[in-house]
Structure formats: C-alpha cells, structure tokens
Structure 1
Amino acid sequence: MATIQYDRASCVYAGAETLAVDSLDLDIADGEFIVLVGPSGSGKSTALRMLAGLEEIDGGTIRIDGQDMVGVSSKDRDIAMVFQNYALYPNKTVGENMGFALKMMKVPLAERKRRVADAAELLGLTPYLDRKPAKLSGGQRQRVAMGRAIVREPRVFCMDEPLSNLDAKLRVQTRTQIAALQRRLGTTTVYVTHDQVEAMTMGDRVAVLRDGKLQQFSTPATLYDHPDNAFVAGFIGSPSMNLCTVPLTSGGVDMAGTTVELPRAYMTRLAEAKLESVTLGIRPEHLELRRDGTGFTATVELVEELGSESYVYARIPGDPIPGLEGSPVTFVARSPQRAPAALAESVALHITDASAVHLFHPETGDRIGD
C-alpha cells in the first residue's frame, strides 16, 4: 500500500497546443480507491499513465510514499496495471497467465504457485486454472487480468477502464466485485472510467477532469449534492442535473413567464454577485409533475418507464432559454408512478424543495454560495 501525490503534475504531447494534463493536484491516502472520471479527451487516462510511468511527467511531480517518480522507470515503481483489453497470452493457461510476471521476476516456483492459488481463490478462478483464455467468458478473462495484477502484491493498482468490453449486466456485477476486492486487499487503487455511474458507485473519492484540468475532487455524495461548477453538476448524476440560464426577478427567477421563488438567502447571494441572470440547476428528483397549475408549464416530449419509476422529459414553451450544453429548455422529472403523463400533454413542473436548487455564475459556471 502507498500514498500518492500529484503535485501540479503536467503532461503535453509532442505537437499539441494544449496540455493533456494541466497542473493536476491530488493527494491520495494509503489504501484509498480513487476514480478519475471525465469525458473523452479530459486527460484521465494520461494522468493514470503518468503515475504508471508510461507517459513522461513534463511539469510538476508525482510522488509515491514521498518518493519523486520523475525519471523513475515503470518497472521500478511497484505498480500493477489492469488495461481495458485483457492482454492475456492465448497459448498459456489461466494459472500461467497469472504467474507469468512472477516468473519473469524469478520468484521461486513454490511461491508463485502459492500466490496464484491464493489469487484464484479470491477471484473464484480456481476451477479454471488449467483453461486457456479462449475457453473463458469476458468476465472471467477480466478476473484473470485482475489476478495477474494481484499476485504481484504491488503498492498501487492502476486500472484503465477495465470494464469497457463487458456487457451492461456483467459490468454492474464485476464493478461490485472489484470494489469489494479492493477493500479486502486494502491496496491503493487509481481507477479510470468515462462512466460517471461507475465512478460514483466504486470510488472512495472521485476526481472529475475536463480538458486536462481538475474540476473537483471529493466524495461521490459531495459531488452530487454540492458540485463546484456547472460542468460537474451536469456530468454527475443520471439523468444529469437540469441546467438553464434564466433572468432574475425581484423574488426569484423567470421560467418562461412564471416566477419561481427562491429562498431569501439565495437572492442575497445573487444580489451580492450583481447578476441579472443566473444558471439554475435542479435534480430530476426535486421536480414534481402537477396538474393544478402549481409550477411552470411544460409539454411532455418523452416518458421513460423503468419499472420502479419513470422519467418525464418536458419542454418549456416559447423561445429557447439561453443555457448550457444540449437542450436547455427540456427538463427531466422523476416520478414514482408508471405512465405519469401522456406524450404532448401540458403539465406543471413544481420544484419540491427550493433549498435543493443550485446556482451557478452564467458566464464562468462557478457555484454561487456554499
């Protein structure tokens, strides 16, 4: 196990005009499971490869247990990597694949067999030790790749989107197994994914990256409840937070001709910021469909029924409201009912908890208030 510090760590690729990773600061505790998440091109995989020694650290530093990794070769960092593709030797058995790195390290045969047997039992692979990879399912192959990393007993696990090749059901099952396994082993783990649901369910803390820059590094609950900016607010959560930029009124905000009142504390913050408009964010679970006219009017465009609940997508009539990415005038509301509304029906969307509204600066996207 080990502590890890990214201290203004930067990386730039030859010929690129911008940094792939720009002054990244992370302080990872011993035994933590950390997830790096962000859209394609955000720098998350590059940050992981910098830690593993597969990319140069062009600025700042990365330390493992206080030791500066600049100039230290990958093989001397005591890190085990699990890749998106399993990278198993097709001509070797499961046991041989898991023990191959130990063989190259000249670990005695008896010790190799012990470590492979222990890892196989941990991963439920004991019945498959004599099989070739071609005779295994995708989930079993991924567990073999995990086992190959575990037998090395490294200080740090680096995992680069290891579940991307699995189907949806197997992804859920395997991510649960990986998270439980990491907690049993207690090995410091840095895990990369583009799937924010995966990040939220697996990580002790999650680092959200965009264009090579760290947006927020905190627990999943904090990212969801108190996003630092509009990007994090829109990226974390499924469906994502409803975001739109709306003009201010004397008592709240104007939603397509309807005034939605905000708590006095919110209005004080907006007055202090001297703004005429604000980017408002509200989670789908804090929007309620009503037919008594309470709320702002919207027209139902789509209903997603998930069995235990439904998501209603409704568009505000009139001219588009200036907003963020996507369709800023379409709101998503979660309903515990099946078929809560019909297509093209006019409904009222009511904010059930005004204190659950998030406010962001309309230009910078930064959070307003605490």
Structure 2
Amino acid sequence: MADVVFDQASRIYTPGAKPAVDRLDLQVEDGEFVVLVGPSGSGKSTALRMLAGLEEIDGGAIKIDGENMVGVPSRDRDIAMVFQNYALYPNKTVGENMAFPLKMAGIDKSVRAEKVREAAAILGLTDYLDRKPRALSGGQRQRVAMGRAIVREPRVFLMDEPLSNLDAKMRVSTRTEIASLQRRLGVTTVYVTHDQVEAMTMGDRVALLADGKLQQFASPADLYDKPKNAFVAGFIGSPAMNLFDATVSERGATIAGHEVELPADVRSTISAQNLSSVTLGVRPEQWKVGSEGGGGLTARVDVVEELGSDAFLYGTLADASGNLDDTASLNGGDSISVVVRTGGRSGARRGDRVSLIPETEGLHLFHPESGDRL
C-alpha cells in the first residue's frame, strides 16, 4: 500500500492553450478510497491517466509512496487499473484472464493458481473460473477485471468509470461491492466517475474538478453541507441545490419579492464586503411547503416526481405580486425555477400553487461574481 500525492501536477496538450489539468494539488492517504468527479472535460480522467503513466506530466510532480513518478514507465509504478470496458481476453477463461498479468510477470504456475483462487473467492467468482467472458453478465465481467487487478497486489488501484456500462440496478449493487472490497483489502484507490451519486456513496473523500482545476477536496458530508463555491453547491446533490440571485435587504436577502431573514453574523459578512446582491442556495429539502397564502414565496407546481418515500416538486416562482408569466422563460425573461423535496404522496398536483418558506438554518450564500462561499 502507498500514499499518492499530486504536487502542482499539470497536463498541457497544446502549448499556450488552457491546461487539461491545471496545477492539481491532492494527497491521497495510505489505504484511502478517493473519488475524482466532475463534468465532462473537467480533467478527472486525465489526472488518473497521469497517475497511471498513460499521460505525460508537463508540470509539477506525482508521487507514490514519496517516489516521483515523472519519467517512470507505467509498468514500473506498481499500480493496477480497472477500465470502463473491462478489457478481457474473449478467448481466455475467467481464471486465465485473472492470471494473465502474473503469467507475464513470470510468476510460478502454482502461485498463480493460488492467487486466482483467493481473488475468485473474495469476488464470488469461484464457480465461473472455467467460463469465457461471453458467458458472464456485465457485473460479473467487471468483477473479473477487478480480480485481475487484485491478484497483482499493487500499491494503488486505479478505476476509470468502471460502472458506466452497467444498467442502473447493477450499478447500485456493484458500487456497493467495490466499496466493501476496497475496505477489506485496504489498498489505496483512486476512482474516477462523472456520477456524483457514485462519488458521494463510495469515497472516503471526494475531489471535485472543473476546467482542469480542483474545486474542493473533502468528505462527502462536507461537500454537501459546506460547499466551497457555487459550482460545488450546484453539482453536488440530486436534485441540485436551488441557486438564486438575491438582492441584499436590511434583514437579509430578497428572492422574487420575498425577504429571507439571515443571521446577524451573515449580514455582517455581506455588509463588510459591501455587496448589493448575493447568490443564495437552498437545498430541495430545506423548504417548508404549505398552501398558497401561507406566507413565503408563491410557486406553481409544473412537474411532480413521485418516488414512493419522497416526492420532488419542480415549479416556477411567482413575482412579488403573486403573478406568474408563462412566457417569461421562453422569452428570456425573469422566470425563476425551484425544486422542492417533500414526503411521499404529498398530494401536490401539476398546476397547484403552493407556499414555500426556506429554512434559514443551513442556507448557503455565495459571492455573486466569484462564486466563493461567504
């Protein structure tokens, strides 16, 4: 096992162009499961490939167990990678696929067989060792790919969106298996995904990237409760946090004509920065929902997603007079969307008008220009 350090690591494909990975600073502790997440083009897969030795490091350094990997070939880094497409040999059995890297390393046949048996037992593949990949399900093939990595006993596991080819149900069960397996083996693991739900449910810590830059590196709970900026706030959470352009008022901030009272210390922070507006964030579960006229903001329900135990209401806020302009969003006007989480079978229907009051405790405020948390 080993720790992994990205020290101002950069990757630049075209001189003078914006880096694909821009001075990434990241420290993965020995035995930790860290997830790199972000939208397409954020640099997460490039960072993983730099660690694997599949991409050059154009600036800074990447260290494994204190050893600088700049210029070190991939085969000499003692890492094992699990890819999105499994990369299994179709003409070899499960056992032969798992044993192949050991065979290439010149490991004795009896030792190879023992290691394969051990890995197969861990992964529930003992009964499939003589089958070819075509006779396996997608989840089983992914476990074979993981078994091939496990038998090598590497210092670091690297996983590049390994669940992307699985159906929704299989993704949920397999991500649980991967997280459980990693904790049993205790091998340092760096895992890449574009799915923030995967990131939040699997990682000890999560690194969120955008445009090649690290936005925040923290535990899933801290990312959700204390997003460093508006981008993190809008990316983490499903559905995403509601973000409103709010006008600063005497007692707080005003959204669609409704004043949200803010704590005194928050108002002092806003005042000290001489801000006339802020970005106000409200999670879907931070709304109190009532009948129209019950105070707060008025919203029309446009879509209801019933999930059994929960429901999500997608709506449009009315203006200060309670008016809703149906053409505003089509004409680039001031239509403001809102997402609300309620209990299952809330009774709300499309077209209903409801009252929304944000819970002031736990509100998120960000600078209107930089997006930094206030």
1:92 is matched with: 92
1:31 is matched with: 31
2:322 is matched with: none
**Alignment map for 1:269-284 (pairs within 5 Å):** 269-284=269-284
For the residue of structure 1 that corresponds to 2:13, the secondary structure is: coil
Residue 359 in structure 1 maps to residue 360 in structure 2: no
The amino acid of 2:364's aligned partner reads H
Unaligned runs of 5+ in 2: 320-324
The amino acid of 1:315's aligned partner reads T
8 A Cα contact 1:200 1:220, kept in partner: yes
The amino acid of 2:361's aligned partner reads S
**Alignment map for 1:330-369 (pairs within 5 Å):** 330-351=337-358, 353-368=359-374
- How far residue 328 of structure 1 moved from its aligned partner, in angstroms, is 7.7
8 A Cα contact 2:245 2:255, kept in partner: no
Give me the whole-angstrom Cα distance separating, in 2, the residues matched to 1:287 and 1:339: 14
Instruction: Name the TM-score, length of structure 2 as normaliser.
Output: 0.95
For the residue of structure 1 that corresponds to 2:222, the secondary structure is: helix
Q: Deviations over 1:117-157 (max 9, x none)?
A: 00000000000000000000000000000000000000000
Give me the whole-angstrom Cα distance separating, in 1, the residues matched to 2:15 and 2:271: 46
Give me the whole-angstrom Cα distance separating, in 2, the residues matched to 1:239 and 1:337: 16
Count of residues paired in the alignment: 363
Give me the whole-angstrom Cα distance separating, in 2, the residues matched to 1:257 and 1:46: 45
2:6 is matched with: 6
Q: Deviations over 1:253-304 (max 9, x none)?
A: 1121121211222111111111000000011111121115221111111110
8 A Cα contact 1:279 1:360, kept in partner: yes
The amino acid of 1:129's aligned partner reads L
| Greater displacement, 146-155 / 241-250 | 241-250
**Alignment map for 1:81-230 (pairs within 5 Å):** 81-230=81-230
For the residue of structure 1 that corresponds to 2:361, the secondary structure is: helix
8 A Cα contact 2:317 2:335, kept in partner: no
| Greater displacement, 177-186 / 307-316 | 307-316
The amino acid of 2:77's aligned partner reads R
Give me the whole-angstrom Cα distance separating, in 2, the residues matched to 1:330 and 1:10: 38
- How far residue 235 of structure 1 moved from its aligned partner, in angstroms, is 0.3
- How far residue 338 of structure 1 moved from its aligned partner, in angstroms, is 0.6
- How far residue 339 of structure 1 moved from its aligned partner, in angstroms, is 3.9
1:235 is matched with: 235
8 A Cα contact 1:301 1:313, kept in partner: yes
- How far residue 321 of structure 1 moved from its aligned partner, in angstroms, is 11
Give me the whole-angstrom Cα distance separating, in 2, the residues matched to 1:139 and 1:149: 16
Unaligned runs of 5+ in 1: none
| Greater displacement, 131-140 / 244-253 | 244-253
The amino acid of 2:14's aligned partner reads A
Give me the whole-angstrom Cα distance separating, in 1, the residues matched to 2:136 and 2:349: 46
Give me the whole-angstrom Cα distance separating, in 1, the residues matched to 2:344 and 2:272: 41
2:309 is matched with: 308
The amino acid of 1:199's aligned partner reads A
Alignment match of 1:329 (pick from 333, 336, 342) = 336
Give me the whole-angstrom Cα distance separating, in 2, the residues matched to 1:197 and 1:71: 35
1:58 is matched with: 58
Q: Deviations over 1:143-202 (max 9, x none)?
A: 000000000000000000000000000000000000000000000000000000000000
| Greater displacement, 11-20 / 38-47 | 11-20
| Greater displacement, 336-345 / 188-197 | 336-345
The amino acid of 1:115's aligned partner reads K
8 A Cα contact 1:300 1:344, kept in partner: yes
The amino acid of 2:151's aligned partner reads V
**Alignment map for 1:42-57 (pairs within 5 Å):** 42-57=42-57
For the residue of structure 2 that corresponds to 1:141, the secondary structure is: helix
1:298 is matched with: 299
- How far residue 252 of structure 1 moved from its aligned partner, in angstroms, is 1.5
The amino acid of 1:355's aligned partner reads E
8 A Cα contact 1:246 1:321, kept in partner: no
| Greater displacement, 161-170 / 8-17 | 8-17
Give me the whole-angstrom Cα distance separating, in 2, the residues matched to 1:159 and 1:34: 10
Distance 1:184-1:328 versus aligned 2 partners, 3 A rule: farther
For the residue of structure 1 that corresponds to 2:265, the secondary structure is: helix
Give me the whole-angstrom Cα distance separating, in 1, the residues matched to 2:153 and 2:362: 45
8 A Cα contact 1:303 1:339, kept in partner: no
8 A Cα contact 2:307 2:344, kept in partner: no
8 A Cα contact 2:45 2:160, kept in partner: yes
- How far residue 340 of structure 1 moved from its aligned partner, in angstroms, is 3.2
Q: Deviations over 1:177-236 (max 9, x none)?
A: 000000000000000000000000000000000000000000000000000000000000
Give me the whole-angstrom Cα distance separating, in 2, the residues matched to 1:93 and 1:328: 59
Give me the whole-angstrom Cα distance separating, in 2, the residues matched to 1:32 and 1:18: 31
Q: What percentage of residue pairs aligned between the two structures are identical?
A: 63
| Greater displacement, 129-138 / 253-262 | 253-262
Distance 1:16-1:96 versus aligned 2 partners, 3 A rule: farther
The amino acid of 1:148's aligned partner reads R
Distance 1:316-1:17 versus aligned 2 partners, 3 A rule: same
2:80 is matched with: 80
For the residue of structure 2 that corresponds to 1:354, the secondary structure is: coil
Give me the whole-angstrom Cα distance separating, in 2, the residues matched to 1:18 and 1:312: 40
